[in-house]
Amino acid sequence: MNEDTPKYMIGVAAELVGMHPQTLRLYETRGLVRPRRTSGGTRLYSDAELARLRRITELASGLGLSLQGVEHVLRLEDRVTQLEQQIEDLGAALDEAARMMQAEVESVHRSYKHEIVPYQAPPGAEIVVRRRRLH
């Protein structure tokens, strides 16, 4: 089980975060939380959703934001989280591409090292370097 595993019914969740169950229903209606539902329709909250409910309380009570302000802040925080994940994914893809490119470069180097033979002048041959005269 992880923090996203739904496990608390609405009454227990409300008690754990110090809210009335009706407040949790209101937050669900406004889209601030999304509890999962059992086949019978019972709401189940995860630890991640309880943390989100605590964040809502912090923003509303602690900072004095309206629910509309809370919605805006949570949307921005969610977007930041998505972008951080995207950056992490892109970084991993970039690392993998760099590893593949390095392997390809090494493969190319191995293929031509056998073909390169150092030049050895035949005995008695001299290399003549001519210099141009400047007028």
pLDDT of residue 113: 64
Largest Cα span, the chain:
101
What is the mean pLDDT of the segment spanning 78-103? 97
At 13-67, the pLDDT tens digits run 999 999 999 999 999 999 999 999 999 999 999 999 999 999 999 999 999 999 9
For the chain, give the mean pLDDT: 90
Instruction: Indicate if 54 and 94 belong to the same structural domain.
Output: no
> Quick check: is 13 in a domain?
yes
Instruction: Indicate if 55 and 105 belong to the same structural domain.
Output: no
Lowest mean pLDDT among 83-87, 97-101, 105-109, 123-127: 123-127
> Quick check: is 10 in a domain?
yes
CA distances from 80 to 71, 83, 85, 86, 95 (A): 14, 5, 9, 10, 22
- 115 confidence band (pLDDT: 50, 70, 90): low
- 130 confidence band (pLDDT: 50, 70, 90): low
- Domain housing 15: 1-64
pLDDT of residue 25: 96
DSSP state of 133: P
Instruction: Indicate if 85 and 69 belong to the same structural domain.
Output: yes
Which token pair is 127?
């290399």
Among residues 51, 53, 55, 52, which one has the least CA distance to residue 63?
55
**In sequence order, what DSSP letters do the residues of 4-52 get, joined into one string?**
T---EEHHHHHHHHT--HHHHHHHHHTTS---EE-TT--EEE-HHHHHH
d(CA 29, CA 8): 18
Given a contact cutoff of 8 angstroms between Cβ atoms, the answer to whether 56 and 72 are in contact is no
- In the chain, the percentage of residues whose pLDDT exceeds 70 is 90
pLDDT of residue 129: 62
The number of domains in the chain is 2
Instruction: Indicate if 39 and 26 belong to the same structural domain.
Output: yes
CA distances from 117 to 33, 105, 125 (A): 70, 20, 18
In one-letter notation, the amino acid at residue 15 is E
What is the mean pLDDT of the segment spanning 115-127? 73
Query: Integer distance in angstroms from the first to the last C-alpha of the chain?
Result: 87
Q: In terms of pTM, does the model score above 0.75? A: no
What's the sign of the alpha-carbon dihedral 90, 81, 77, 31? positive
